[in-house]
Amino acid sequence: MLFNHVPCEPIQKITRETTDRGRFYLTPEGKHYPSATTVLNVLPKDGIEAWKKRVGEAEAAKILSQAGRRGTAVHDIAENYIKNDKAWSRGHMPANIFSFNQIKPIIDKSVNNVVMQEEFLWSDYLKTAGQVDLVAEFDGVLSIIDFKTSLRPKKKEWIGNYFMQEAFYAVAFEERTKIPVSQLVTIVMVDGGDPQVFVEKRDDHIKAFMKARIQYNKIKGI
């Protein structure tokens, strides 16, 4: 399948650095903003910590490292595929190509009219920055689209962080381009299971992100 690309006006470039305090971006105006992931890391992770205790720290670190590599690979394959790169699978392990092929039918059926891929965005209003996976139409509606990989199926109540981060991207995208985006789409590749698609509304999650941003400031003494 060939995807139609309808890029918006180019936005200014920003730079990124990773420190022991998290990931930060430097805007053209000289502002240092934390990444959306760094902001959301202040929220409780009771489920993850309980899982680490069950399996042991060493085993958890191994699993998370493997999952991280697989997630990065699937993201890269998806990016190249949607760019209409004929060699989208070149250089990737068969297992990662297999993982991508689980979500490929969803992409083929529902994604088109691509506006932006893997672009740095920032919001002066939210004083946060980040890198969005994809801004495109999903079933005909302009959306923030995020690709995730998971060892097991997700429940909606477990992944509020995903929706908050995507809501931030929607606000930042509109701030930079003046183009509103109200729909959030999370496509999850599940090991050994059917892929999942969660479709949410920006306005249902942006207030939660704003609360997390305030909490981040309090914890960091800002």
Q: For 108-132, what is the mean pLDDT? A: 97
Torsion of CA 184, 218, 38, 63, to 10 degrees: -100
Q: For 52-62, what is the mean pLDDT? A: 61
Q: Is the pLDDT of residue 217 over 70?
A: yes
pLDDT at residue number 151: 85
Q: Is the pLDDT of residue 46 over 70?
A: no
pLDDT at residue number 52: 53
Q: Give the dihedral sign, CA 181/130/105/1.
A: positive
Q: Give the dihedral sign, CA 122/185/113/71.
A: positive
Of all residues in the chain, the percent with pLDDT exceeding 70 is 89
pLDDT at residue number 192: 81
pLDDT band at 59 (very low <50, low <70, confident <90, very high): low
pLDDT at residue number 4: 97
Q: Is the pLDDT of residue 47 over 80?
A: no
Q: For 207-220, what is the mean pLDDT? A: 94
Average pLDDT, whole number, for the chain? 90
pLDDT at residue number 165: 97
Q: Is the pLDDT of residue 51 over 90?
A: no
d(C-alpha 14, C-alpha 111), whole Å = 27
CA distance between the termini of the chain:
48
pLDDT band at 142 (very low <50, low <70, confident <90, very high): very high
pLDDT band at 61 (very low <50, low <70, confident <90, very high): low
DSSP code for 194: -
Q: Is the pLDDT of residue 11 over 90?
A: yes
pLDDT at residue number 139: 98
Where are the chain's structural domains?
Answer: 15-220
- The two tokens of residue 42 are 């202040």
Q: Is the pLDDT of residue 17 over 80?
A: yes
pLDDT at residue number 43: 85
d(C-alpha 94, C-alpha 100), whole Å = 10
Q: For 88-106, what is the mean pLDDT? A: 94
pLDDT at residue number 114: 98
Fold of 15-220: Lambda Exonuclease; Chain A (3.90.320)
How many CB atoms sit inside 10 A of residue 187's CB? 24
Please answer whether residues 34 and 123 qualify as being in contact, where contact means their C-beta atoms are separated by less than 8 angstroms.
Answer: no
CA distances, 127 to each of 4, 24, 73 (Å): 32, 11, 30
d(C-alpha 11, C-alpha 170), whole Å = 15
